Amino acid sequence: MAKKGNLRRPRHREPDGNEAETDLAAMTFEELLELQNRVGTKMYRQLMAGPSAEDQPRRAAPTRAQGAAEKQRPLEMSSKTRVPFLRQVVPVRKKVARDPRFDDLSGEYNPEVFEKTYRFLNEYRAKEKELVAKRLKKSKLGEEQEKLKQLLHRMDQQEAAQHEQQRQQEQR
């Protein structure tokens, strides 16, 4: 049995905690019980457990470096903070819609030039009209014949309107 005067007291070095652990490991159970009675149960448990996470100094959370890739990202807002009532909105330039029909860069409308440029469409319309007429003769279903008749009639009306426009332009 160890005497009360001979009791070895462990050295407490909290920063690394290694020496306190080695001193406690070298003590007998009798000495450990006596130490527990003298220091108190709560303090004894803390000594046995070693330095806890609460005792160690907290390190700051690593922050991301603001690199070139971060510049174009939207600003990260914390979900904990309130958004200001009137927040600053970054103005974004809108693309201006430009209709070339009404743009000055397109020039003035000249019906003669337009007619010469798009004359080939009249040839396509004539060929398409012939195809519709052939399909109308071959078709036997009533619904299909009715649709083709309406289409052919509309094509005739468009052609007549176009001829009327040409006649009026020639009179001017």
* 10-residue mean pLDDT series, the chain (172 residues): 51 54 80 88 83 59 57 83 80 87 84 88 94 92 92 96 90 83
Domain positions in the chain? 1-53, 107-171
DSSP-assigned states of every residue in 39-88: H-HHHHHHHHH-S-TTTSPPPPPPPPP--GGGTTSPPP--SSSPPPSSPP
* Full-model pTM: 0.40
- State how far the Cα of 14 lies from the Cα of 51, in Å rounded to an integer: 7
